Amino acid sequence: MESAGAGEERPRGHRFVLVHGVCHGAWSWYRVATALRSAGHRVDALDMAACGARPGRAEEVGSFQEYSRPLLDALGALPPGEKAVLVGHSYGGQSLALAMQAHPDRVAVAVFASAAMPAAGKPLKFVSEQFAQERGPGFFMDSVIETTGGDDLERACKTFLLGPEYMAQRLYQLSPAEDLTLATMLVRPSRRFVDDAVMNGEEVLTAERYGAVSRVYVVAEEDASWSPEFQRRMASWNPGAEVRGLQGADHMPMFSKPRELSDLLVEIADKYTNR
């Protein structure tokens, strides 16, 4: 990550750290990253473990902490006194929460863009448990859940891969056709951390650390995956969270409304930086 040397002027603009959703990678931010960099900001779009262009397979990722390690390391490597604007999408909100807990002093504001927003004092899996009550049978359509490891319970794990029909109808229904095509070519299986200690721990996220970081929820108003109402419900679990609506955005606002999302991110960064 970029840093200013002794006697050098610190670079202008905000530093944005972008975290993708399940089965996706840093590539999903290419439109937003381009817009932010063109406006003079520094952008780090990260691949989580075994995602995007990062090597490895989903079943080799031993824990959710390991999955989120690229984000945790990126925040830990920031120069002293510098803070980042974290932006998480979908499942990436879980990694954002872990990073906020680990490095609350390194985050100017965390932006959850149609993202999982956990509650302090509750397990990370609380989000998926609540969402399970909203969706009906067959919700994930042609998406594939597999168990690897056979009869070896110690090594068995479940992976999840988004199906093309599910993506077309529930995630990308308002996004450009070429971006849906790109996504169907690049998505990779992600591990489901069902029995993970971090996912199940009630003391992982605390009000004193995770809860102390400024956060904004960006509601994708045309989301056909989790509803705008559910997105607002997640925000309500976090006292003090600001809620902003993004009209015309499906579950992938970085594709369906990239310019509007980029402008909103800069507006949020301007508001919360150097508070």
DSSP-derived letter for residue 167 is: I
Catalytic residue among 14, 20, 89, 90: 90
- Residue 214 included in any domain: yes
Is residue 263 among the annotated active site residues? no
* Strand 42-46 versus strand 15-19 pairing type: parallel
- Residue 96 included in any domain: yes
Is residue 251 among the annotated active site residues? yes
- Residue 4 included in any domain: no
Is residue 196 among the annotated active site residues? no
The helix (H) or strand (E) run that includes residue 157 is: strand 157-161
Catalytic residue among 14, 251, 256, 262: 251
Q: Cα separation of 53 and 81, whole Å?
A: 30
Lookup: tokens for 69: 């390690």
- Residue 7 included in any domain: no
- CATH, residue 95: 3.40.50.1820
Report CA-CA distances (Å) from 174 to 34, 162, 179, 251. 20, 17, 10, 9
Lookup: tokens for 44: 């780090």
pLDDT of amino acid 53: 97
Residue 151 CB neighbour total at 10 angstroms: 6
Report CA-CA distances (Å) from 100 to 44, 197, 201. 17, 18, 16
Q: What is the pLDDT of residues 60-92, one digit of tens each?
A: 999 999 999 999 999 999 999 899 999 999 999
- Domain of residue 166 covers 15-274
The amino acid present at 203, given as its one-letter code, is E
- Residue 6 included in any domain: no
| pTM recorded for the entire structure | 0.93
Those residues of the chain that have pLDDT short of 50 are: 1-10, 153
pLDDT of amino acid 136: 85
- Residue 5 included in any domain: no
Q: Cα separation of 249 and 255, whole Å?
A: 9
The number of distinct structural domains making up the chain is 1
Start-to-end Cα distance in the chain: 23
- Residue 10 included in any domain: no
Catalytic residue among 223, 225, 256, 262: 223
